[in-house]
Amino acid sequence: MNYFRHVILILLTVVAFNSCKEEEKKKAEVLRPVNYQIVGTSDAQKIRSFSGIARAGDEIELSFRSNGIITELNAKVGQKVKKGDLIAKLDNVQANLAYEQSVSALNSANSAMKTAKSAMDRVKSLYESGSQSLSDYEAAKNSYQSALDQYESARRNKSIQQSQISYGYIKAPKDGTIASAPGSLNANVSAGQVIAVLNAGEQINIMVGLPENVINKVQTGMEVAIALSSLGEYFKGSVLEVSPVVDANSSTYPVKIDIVTPTTAVKPGMAANVTFNFSTGEETADNSLVVPVKAVGEDGNGNFVFIVESEDGETGTVKKQTIEVGELTSNGFKIKSGLNGGEKIATAGLQTLLDGQKVRLQ
């Protein structure tokens, strides 16, 4: 009996040991992701594609202009609203209290102004009859002017406090559809915190981020090609806006594309592929191979690139390839020898890649 127990114990130990080894192998199989680019001619490099996303032409973020607790929320994703519809409301306790105080202050200032006006009129009458001095009359006028200034200040303050109450309401600025509603009932929110996002109008645009090496080649009105893989359709597009400021989150320059002939099938959030043609049409054909500067390294044997050999398009092996570079152009180095065109080459992390290393393409 004890013998069988020992045998079972040994078998369980072996199984556990093999399992640990398998887990270690699985962990060792984690492949490093690598960015790549296909080697093409100088003319081919002028046609570039970038990923984008469909957005509503008029996307409005709705938020309060004051702090408070949400006591009413009429925003559900997909809900259609009309201009002026109430979206959300705050408790407005502090704003209402401040408004009541401003009304009280205005009434007091109004009473003081009227008293000062009566006093000035009485002193003026006595001064004109010779019963009061000029200094008394001037003092009465100054008192009235001071009371009048305080009244005007109180009146302006009342108007401001009344506006503060309106800041506790969010109303739809346009007809549209609620795209998202991150706000929740009874939540304590601060001024500027997004409560809902409204997609207004029917126009759909494509937003795409472009790197710094091509942003200066893009102009408003420029024609582009748009591919929506989810629909399997292609559209013509036109550049609407080109941001002069880089987006801190993506380190790219946002560009807004208008779909020339949109359809109702295009919805906000759909992924798009936007193709730009940066050739001017006046240049002579240039069939020399070009690789980006960031893809070229240098060691004791000269310049090199890492070719990514892959059969499935997802994983592959990098191979160090010595090349001879030529003229430096705006698109990168022209290649004199070492590449034939069509190869996939790594475009980042050359210092840490090793010849023969397995990688994951991205």
Both tokens of 337, joined, read: 């020898």
On whether the CB atoms of residues 120 and 143 are closer than 8 A, the answer is yes
Domains located in the chain, CATH noted: 47-58+201-277 (2.40.30.170), 60-87+173-194 (2.40.50.100), 93-166 (1.10.287), 288-361 (2.40.420.20)
Instruction: Specify the 3-state DSSP secondary structure of 244.
Output: coil
What are the percentages of helix, strand and coil residues in the chain, rounded to 5? 30, 40, 30
Q: Quote the CA–CA distance of 287 and 358 in Å, as a whole number.
A: 32
* Res 286: pLDDT: 61
Q: Quote the CA–CA distance of 41 and 45 in Å, as a whole number.
A: 6
Residue-wise pLDDT tens for the chain (362 aa)? 455 565 566 655 655 555 555 554 444 567 888 877 778 765 555 677 888 888 887 788 899 888 889 999 988 888 888 989 999 999 888 888 888 999 999 999 999 999 999 988 888 888 888 888 888 888 888 999 999 999 999 999 999 888 888 888 999 988 888 888 888 888 898 888 899 988 887 778 899 998 887 888 898 989 998 888 788 888 899 999 999 998 888 888 999 998 888 788 888 888 888 888 877 655 555 667 888 888 888 888 899 999 988 877 778 898 998 999 888 876 788 888 888 888 888 887 777 888 888 888 76
Burial call 267-301: b when 16+ CB within 10 Å, e when fewer: ebebebbbebeebeeeeeebeebbbbeebbbeeee
pLDDT in tens, 273-304: 888 887 765 555 566 788 888 888 888 889 99
Q: Quote the CA–CA distance of 316 and 31 in Å, as a whole number.
A: 10
